[in-house]
Structure 1
Amino acid sequence: MRFIGRFMLTLFPFIYMFLIWQQTSKFDPESVSGLSTVLSDVVILAIGGTLELAHLFEFSILYCLIIMALLCYGYLNKWKETLAIVISLLYGLADEIHQLFVPFRSFSIIDLIKNSIGILVIWYFIHQKYFTKKDSRLGSFFRKITTFFKKEKANTSIKL
């Protein structure tokens, strides 16, 4: 059972990256052009602002999923945090480069900055909860992931 859980937690970041890729691959301005006649300018501006903020959340979720996958293989440390940050940032860069080849999309340094801010904010938050605040529910949740999967190794010793 633990094998399936470890497999799923390891697979989730890849599924999420695939979903990000699919979402950025499909953009048709014709599909939203009619909104300006139906919605007020304030609502359209609010929707636009929300979509811009989505970068912060989109890549912070990716970072969390990567951290959860890495926790299946041992406790959180600087190396795992750095690896998760690098993978998240590089994926954000790859996605922006990918958008160069998608009609009506473009590469944006501003989007990369928003991605980076989202990743670094969630890194700081998780780091504080995991290492500094031992009574934190979030920190406890992340530590329990490792503890759960660590038991599997202890139970698989060969008995003669």
Structure 2
Amino acid sequence: MGKWIFRVLPILYMGVIWTLSSFPANAVVELPDLSLDRFIKESMHLIEFAILYLLFVFAMHTTNIPFSKKINLVCAAIACLYGVADEIHQSFVPSRSATLIDVIKDVTGVAICWYFIDRASFQKRFPRISAFLRFLKKV
């Protein structure tokens, strides 16, 4: 049962991203300090697609498919491509914008997480991350 939760989470999360990017930027929350509001929302690009990548990695660890460098790269590529698709989607939403810098932030967040997963999985670094990934194999 637990493994199916990890397998469905990336799809559900993609739906959440798509839904939230269908609304104006201030539809969910708007902080009174506009510069802080903008900073936090711009920073979310780094975080939201990094989370998507991690959910793909976690889902792959619950399968019988060996987690390889190639699979790791595919997980990162899918998360990055979804970031591009989301930016294109936002370009059609009134009061939203799509910029190359947003795509760069999406890819940067994924790349940072990819680094840690790569080192934990294939170079015996970051033992806590490695332990969690091994735990997922047993779920």
Same fold by TM (over 0.5)?
yes
Partner of 1:7: 4
Q: Hey, what's the Cα distance between the residues in 1 that align with 2:40 and 2:91?
A: 23
Q: Where has structure 1 moved over 3 Å in runs of 4 or more?
A: 28-33
C-alpha contact (below 8 Å) 2:6/2:58 kept by paired residues: yes
The reply on whether 1:19 has 2:16 as its aligned counterpart is yes
- State the percentage of identical aligned residues: 36
Give structure 2 stretches of 5+ with no counterpart.
Answer: none
**Partner of residue 131 from structure 2, selected from 129, 136, 140:** 140
CA RMSD of aligned residues (A): 2.2
CA shift for structure 1 position 134: 5.5
| Structure whose alpha-carbon radius of gyration is higher | 1
Give structure 1 stretches of 5+ with no counterpart.
Answer: 150-160
C-alpha contact (below 8 Å) 1:29/1:104 kept by paired residues: no
Partner of 1:45: 35
CA-to-aligned-CA distance 1:12-67 (integer Å, 9 cap, x gap): 0000000000110011668989x7xxx4xxx3212211111111010110000000
Q: More displaced, 126-135 or 20-29?
A: 126-135
Aligned residues: 138
User: Which has the larger share of helix?
Assistant: 1
**Partner of residue 48 from structure 2, selected from 44, 58, 65:** 58
Pairs within 5 Å for 1:72-111: 72-73=62-63, 74-111=65-102
> Scaled by the length of structure 1, what TM-score is found?
0.78
